Amino acid sequence: MKRTIVIFGTISVVVILLFQVSKFSLMNTQGFSDVFLIISGILFIALGYFITKLFYARKHTNSIQEIDIKRIKELNISKQELKVLGLMSDGLSNNEIAETLFITENTVKSHVSKILSKLNAKRRTEAIKIGRDLNII
Amino acid sequence: MKRTIVIFGTISVVVILLFQVSKFSLMNTQGFSDVFLIISGILFIALGYFITKLFYARKHTNSIQEIDIKRIKELNISKQELKVLGLMSDGLSNNEIAETLFITENTVKSHVSKILSKLNAKRRTEAIKIGRDLNII
DNA sequence: CTCAAAATCATACTTTCGAGTGAGTTTGGA
DNA sequence: TCCAAACTCACTCGAAAGTATGATTTTGAG
């Protein structure tokens, strides 16, 4: 929110300055109005470019969405459990996960069971879906 | 590619027209230069906005990516198989998928088997991952 | 240091998945 | 109309996944 205010304030100032500069430039140098018009035009286009880019950048980061650490803590999911969940969503079997993490399959199974109960899922596929929806993976 | 040429051509024409209009407007009506400056400034900003939006829109559709029908046909995946794959990725069991599609679990199993072989996956979780990566789901 | 949480592993048991095979029915396009 | 592909279903068997319980070791925060 603070950032929004700062950005809009800056943009407003820049816009006003641009208008003032281009107005006086045009009034004082009648013969070179072409050049100044082009320059101010380019500046305005650039301004539009940056404004638009700003909004799209914000949207973009929202739609890509990073891992929600807060929610992981809320769900009381541990580091190792999270790793297992990630590997599950990569399509690995319990045995493959065990080999990847250098632990036994039994241990993986106990991790998986805990993940399922914490995410309130009946199957690993459901856990994957829930994990994705919650931006945990 | 054709679209790109058309778009750039249009943009070029619009830019030139804008310059001409604003130039003559300014030269002929000295007293109202403020109004015309503002209008032309807004127009240029709008232009920058649309140009930027155009580029971002293209990027955006690429990153969000809709279902790749072409690839589905390439992989020879049928309608029903695709439905099953979708329900799998929603975390449903074979039995639940059967109830959803009003078919028996045996039929679901045969669909799943075909999906796995077509996607070259060893497990349903892997099929889900591959399907996501290929923008099939 | 201490203690709870996390991580590790095991064993026994149930359920779900998936492979393989075979076969009958629908359907959409040539 | 005819046929291949899609869809349907069944049965068996082995593999993978998941449950339940219990126990030991590590670890990290206070």
CATH of the domain at B79: 1.10.10.10
Return mean pLDDT, chain A: 81
**Residue B4: predicted pLDDT:** 39
Residue A123, CB, strand D, below 7 Å: yes
Do A81 and A124 share a structural domain?
yes
Span A40-65, pLDDT tens digits:
778 888 888 777 777 776 665 556 67
- The yes-or-no verdict on residue A7 having pLDDT over 50 is no
> Which segments of chain B are extended strands (E)?
none
Q: Are residues B46 and B96 in the same domain?
A: no
Whether residue A22 has pLDDT greater than 90: no
As ranges, strand D nucleotides with an atom below 7 A of a protein CB are 5-11, 16-22
Residues A48, A97 within the same domain = no
Instruction: Spell out a b/e string for B111-126, using b for 16 or more CB atoms within 10 Å of the CB, else e.
Output: bbebbbebbebebbbb
Do A81 and A49 belong to one domain?
A: no
A135 touching B, CB under 8 A? no
Residue with tokens 């045996």, as numbered in its chain: B106
Domain boundary among A63, A95, A114: A63
Residues A32 and A81 in one domain: no
* pLDDT at site A12: 59
Q: Would the Cβ of B97 be found within 7 angstroms of any atom in strand D? A: no
Percent of chain A scoring above 70 in pLDDT: 67
- The residue among B29, B45, B116 with the most chain A CBs within 10 A of its CB, best to mutate, is B45
Cβ-Cβ contacts under 8 Å, A34 against chain B? 23
pTM of the entire predicted model: 0.68
A45, A95: one domain: no
User: pLDDT category, A2, cuts 50, 70, 90?
Assistant: very low
Q: Looking at the structure, tell me whether residues A74 and A126 fall in a common domain.
A: yes
Is residue A59 domain-shared with residue A81, that is, in the same domain?
A: no
Q: Among the three residues A20, A42, A63, which one is the final residue of a domain in this structure?
A: A63
Which of A6-10, B48-52, B75-79 has the highest mean predicted lDDT (pLDDT)?
B75-79
Q: Return the amino acid letter for B65.
A: Q
**Cα pseudo-dihedral B36, A47, A23, A33, rounded to 10:** -80
Same-domain status, A77 and A54: no
Nucleotide nearest to A105 in CA–C1' terms = C9
**Helix A105-119 vs helix A94-101: crossing angle, to nearest 10:** 110
Q: In angstroms, what separates the C-alpha of A101 from chain B's closest C-alpha?
A: 18
- Examine the fold and report which residue of B16, B33, B63 is the final residue of a domain before the chain moves on: B63
DSSP state of A107: H
Cα B16 to Cα B14: distance, rounded to the nearest angstrom = 6
Which residues of chain A have a CB within 8 Å of the CB of B15?
41
In terms of domains, do A87 and A59 share one? no
B104 and B52 in one domain?
A: no
Within this chain, do residues B76 and B55 fall inside the same structural domain, yes or no? no
Domain that holds residue B93: 69-133
More confident residue, B53 or B113: B113
- Model confidence over A64-109: pLDDT tens digits? 678 999 999 999 999 999 999 999 999 999 999 999 999 999 999 9
Q: CB distance from B27 to chain A under 8 Å? A: yes
Which has more pLDDT, B58 or A81? A81
Structural domain total, chain B: 2
Residue B15 scores a pLDDT above 90: no
Decide if B127 touches A, using CB distance below 8 A: yes
Distance A116 CA to D20 C1' (A): 15
Is there contact between B92 and strand D, defined as CB under 7 Å from any strand atom? Answer: no
